[in-house]
């Protein structure tokens, strides 16, 4: 495949970025999207040019590091996959591919396609955990958990925190991410002890960091590579109301 | 209820938006009931009686205060939330978003804005006359506006009637998204009932605006 790439290049967080166009020839349709970028970077290095900086780690869709906005969609044109799981067979020979970094005020661009997503870490630090005293491990079956709730909690816990929900949302809202993290604990008895404080503190931090407000377009759900459901947002709203009113 | 309830977080603002939006949807049905009296060929007797009741009944007057507060807060919160949303993405994408989302769900602020413009026109045409802020020849000797005559004159104007029809089509799209979104915001999302809520919302968003649209059609083509 021959491709034309339009890639956002930005030297550092303070510089003004711009799109740079590159031509790539003889790319295999079986190549992954990130491998295609690796090939581009090899060519740039050979020409003594700066390679394109982009986040990646596991390259098998579980770490949540890749964060590319490809032709108007986070993680590209395939559904329920991360950019590292996207293959070039999803594109056509001669296609122009525009690659942008996630765009949101709390996700500043560090360089090229790499953004700082530590805003998510700050939200997690506010309550995305269960406090457990050290000591001998308790018998797991002492606390009974319903099958349905354990499945829902596991579905919520599948969130890898990639930020595609924020990137897809027209408001750059982080509601799907925060609600998944709130839900995975709220659904389990171990998480209910700190549930009220958790939801209040995590929502407060989300607001302080400058994420937008949810307007129920459900773009987040549509673009989530882990298919996190919007029902988590409703659950977080319920949790929040109960925590505030009761 | 503790004092922090009044410190408005993003979710609190949205919950108020949802509550007030649902309240306004109930009011819209009452308004439709009164407007449909215009279709009766009784010289405006029913319509005038209904308008008189709404204008003089003390219970209705109490609700009227709640209604205006509801409108103002709903509109203000909508604007505040939208400004925050614009600020959350200072640098826009070069390629506009291609994500598949419900029809017009991304444009609620614009459909809401169109409804607001009409609301201002509607107030100038009716409510401000009642308050004496706008002069109109169709005011009786005792100072009571003849709303039936005013409505007839407005609907006889094809430009007003067409704008009125267009507005209610836009309102229908606004309500279709708003109804199910309000329940989602209020935490109601259930595998069984959410589908019913969405269908009822669509039913309401078609039937109620259609009820309003029938009136200019009647005045333009049938009467």
pLDDT tens, residue by residue, B185-194: 999 999 889 9
pLDDT score, position A148? 96
In degrees rounded to 5, what are phi and psi of residue A144?
A: -85, 135
pLDDT score, position A202? 98
pLDDT digits (tens, 9 = 90+) for B1-29: 444 444 589 999 999 999 999 999 999 99
CATH H-level, domain A117-131+142-245: superfamily: Alpha-helical ferredoxin (1.10.1060.10)
A8 vs B contacts (CB less than 8 Å): 94
- CATH code that applies to domain B9-87+106-222: 1.20.1300.10
Query: Whats the size of chain B, residue-wise?
Result: 223
Decide the pairing of beta strands A96-101 and A3-9: parallel
Q: Percent of chain B having pLDDT more than 70? A: 96
pLDDT digits (tens, 9 = 90+) for A179-215: 999 999 999 999 999 999 999 999 999 999 999 999 9
Single pTM value for the model:
0.94
pLDDT score, position B132? 80
- Mutate one of B79, B81, B96, B97 to test the A interface: name it (highest A CB count within 10 A): B97
Contact between chains at B89 and A171 (C-beta distance less than 8 A): yes
Contact between chains at B90 and A105 (C-beta distance less than 8 A): yes
In degrees rounded to 5, what are phi and psi of residue A162?
A: -75, -30
A10 vs B contacts (CB less than 8 Å): none
CA distance B197 to chain A (A): 14
pLDDT score, position B134? 80
B1 vs A contacts (CB less than 8 Å): 244-245
CATH H-level, domain A3-111: superfamily: Beta-grasp domain (3.10.20.30)
pLDDT digits (tens, 9 = 90+) for B177-210: 999 999 999 999 998 899 999 999 999 999 999 9
CA distance A223 to chain B (A): 7
Average pLDDT over residues A37-56: 98
CA distance B8 to chain A (A): 10
Average pLDDT over residues B43-68: 90
Decide the pairing of beta strands A96-101 and A68-70: antiparallel
Average pLDDT over residues B154-173: 96
| Nearest-by-Cβ selection for A69 from B85, B93, B106 | B93
In chain A, domain spans:
3-111, 117-131+142-245
What is the DSSP-derived secondary structure letter of residue A104?
Answer: B
Structure tokens at B73: 């807060």
Determine the Cα angle at A122 with ends A117 and A124, to 5°.
100
The better pLDDT of the pair B133, B6 is held by B133
Q: Searching chain B, which residue's CA lies closest to the CA of residue A174?
A: B88
CA distance B176 to chain A (A): 12
- DSSP code per residue over chain B: --GGGGS--HHHHHHHHHHHHHHHHHHHHHHHHHHGGGGSSSTTHHHHHHHHHHHH-HHHHHHHHHHHHHHHHHHHHHHHHHHHHHHT-SS--SSPP-----TTGGGHHHHHHHHHHHHHHHIIIIIHHHHTSS--S-B-TTS-B-HHHHHHHHHHSHHHHHHHHHHHHHHHHHHHHHHHHHHHHTT---TTHHHHHHHHHHHHHHHHHHHHHHHHHIIIII-
In chain B, domain spans:
9-87+106-222
Q: How many CA atoms are closer than 13 Å to the CA of B189, on its beta-carbon side?
A: 18
pLDDT score, position B5? 43
pLDDT score, position B4? 46
Average pLDDT over residues A120-125: 98
User: ipTM beyond 0.90?
Assistant: yes
Contact between chains at B90 and A238 (C-beta distance less than 8 A): no
- DSSP code per residue over A180-243: HHHHHHHTSHHHHTTHHHHHHHHHHHHHHTT-B---S--HHHHH-TT---THHHHHHHHHHHHH
CA distance B131 to chain A (A): 36
Average pLDDT over residues B150-172: 95
The better pLDDT of the pair B142, B12 is held by B12
B98 vs A contacts (CB less than 8 Å): 71-73
- Mutate one of A215, A222, A224, A241 to test the B interface: name it (highest B CB count within 10 A): A215
Does position B103 have pLDDT exceeding 70, yes or no? yes
Structure tokens at B223: 């009467």
pLDDT score, position B7? 57
How many residue contacts between A and B have a Cβ separation below 8 Å? 134
The better pLDDT of the pair A157, B141 is held by A157
Does position B71 have pLDDT exceeding 50, yes or no? yes
Extract long-range pairs of A229-232: CB within 8 Å, 24+ residues apart. A229/A155, A230/A176, A230/B184, A230/B189, A231/B189, A232/A156, A232/A176, A232/A179, A232/A180, A232/A182, A232/A183
Helices B10-35 & A231-245 angle (0-180, nearest 10)? 100
What's the maximum distance between 2 C-alpha atoms anywhere in chain B? 62
């Amino acid at each position: 495949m021959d491709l034309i790439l339009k890639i956002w290049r930005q030297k550092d967080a303070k510089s003004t970025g711009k799109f740079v166009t590159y031509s790539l020839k003889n790319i295999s349709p079986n190549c992954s999207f990130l491998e295609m970028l690796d090939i581009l970077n090899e060519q740039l290095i050979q020409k003594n040019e700066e390679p394109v900086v982009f986040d990646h780690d596991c390259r098998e869709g579980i770490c949540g590091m890749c964060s590319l906005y490809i032709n108007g969609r986070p993680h590209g044109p395939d559904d329920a996959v991360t950019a590292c799981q996207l293959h070039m067979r999803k594109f056509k020979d001669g296609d122009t591919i525009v690659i942008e970094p996630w765009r949101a005020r709390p996700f500043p661009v560090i360089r090229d396609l790499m953004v700082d997503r530590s805003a998510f870490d700050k939200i997690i630090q506010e309550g995305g955990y269960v406090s457990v005293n050290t000591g001998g491990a308790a018998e797991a079956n002492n606390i009974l958990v319903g099958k349905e709730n354990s499945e829902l909690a596991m579905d919520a816990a599948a969130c890898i925190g990639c930020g595609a929900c924020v990137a897809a949302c027209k408001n750059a809202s982080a509601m799907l991410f925060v609600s998944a993290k709130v839900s995975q604990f709220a659904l389990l008895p171990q998480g209910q002890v700190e549930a009220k404080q958790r939801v209040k503190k995590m929502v407060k931090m989300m607001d302080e960091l400058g994420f937008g407000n949810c307007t129920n377009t459900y773009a987040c759900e549509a673009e989530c590579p882990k298919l996190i459901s919007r029902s988590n947002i409703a659950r977080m709203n319920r949790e929040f109301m109960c925590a505030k009113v009761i | 209820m503790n004092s922090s309830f009044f410190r408005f977080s993003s979710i609190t603002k949205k919950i108020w938006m949802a509550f007030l939006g649902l309240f306004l949807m109930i009011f819209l049905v009452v308004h439709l009931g009164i407007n449909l009296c215009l279709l009766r060929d009784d010289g405006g007797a029913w319509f005038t009686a209904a308008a008189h009741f709404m204008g003089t009944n003390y219970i209705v007057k109490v609700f009227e205060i709640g209604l205006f507060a509801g409108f103002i807060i709903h509109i203000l919160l909508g604007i505040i939330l939208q400004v925050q949303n614009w600020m959350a993405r200072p640098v826009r994408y070069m390629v506009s978003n291609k994500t598949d989302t419900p029809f017009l769900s991304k444009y609620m602020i614009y459909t809401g804005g169109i409804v607001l413009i009409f609301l201002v026109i509607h107030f100038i045409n009716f409510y401000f006359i009642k308050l004496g802020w706008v002069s109109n020849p169709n005011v009786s000797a005792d100072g009571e506006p003849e709303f039936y005559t005013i409505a007839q004159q407005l609907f006889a104007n094809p430009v007003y009637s067409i704008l009125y029809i267009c507005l209610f089509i836009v309102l229908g799209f606004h309500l279709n998204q708003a109804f199910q979104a309000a329940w989602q915001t209020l935490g109601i999302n259930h595998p069984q009932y959410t589908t019913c809520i969405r269908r009822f919302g669509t039913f309401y968003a078609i039937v109620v605006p259609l009820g309003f649209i029938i009136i200019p059609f009647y005045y333009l083509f049938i009467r």
